[in-house]
Structure 1
Amino acid sequence: MPTPFWTSKETLDRLNGLDRPGFAMEFLRRNPEYRNDCIRVLNRAGQGKADAITARSDFARRWGVRFCP
């Protein structure tokens, strides 16, 4: 993500208004390793190469995140 985007007033206002979990999620979703892992997990589960529940659980444990039921 380009640096100017992070320093725009709109972005700073939005990021400053987030709680800790919200900020952590914004940080993670910009992480290319996180995004690539997420795509890999979804593809493997979608192709039947992995059990979807187990794959999501392993992904969540790797990244320290929780998903809403």
Structure 2
Amino acid sequence: MQPTLDWRSPDFPKIFELYDRADFAQEFLRRNPRYRAAYRAGTAPGRSRAALRRLARHWGLVFRR
């Protein structure tokens, strides 16, 4: 397992050099408490596929099949 890179490290910005738009969007959503709460609610056991589609539409997501 690789050690976690400290954000204060001078090498930290280098991890973002290869990121594309999707990578940055994923990082934004992963850290967004409102998205995380909506994702938990939309993917809770017993929820319909329609709930997941509403979640995706609200946040502008596209899930590949």
TM class, shorter-chain normalised?
0.7 to 0.9
Aligned residues: 60
* 1:57 corresponding residue in structure 2: 53
Moved over 6 A (4+): none
| Overall identity of the aligned pairs, in % | 35
Question: 5+ unaligned residues in a row in structure 1: which ranges?
Answer: none
| Change in CA separation of 1:10 and 1:32 when aligned onto 2, cut-off 3 Å | farther
1:42 paired to 2:38: no
Q: Which TM-score applies when normalising by structure 2?
A: 0.74
CA RMSD, 1 decimal: 1.8
Q: Which TM-score applies when normalising by structure 1?
A: 0.71
Matched residues in 1 for 2:25 and 2:15: separation? 13
Matched residues in 2 for 1:8 and 1:68: separation? 35
Question: 5+ unaligned residues in a row in structure 2: which ranges?
Answer: 1-5
Higher helix residue share: 1
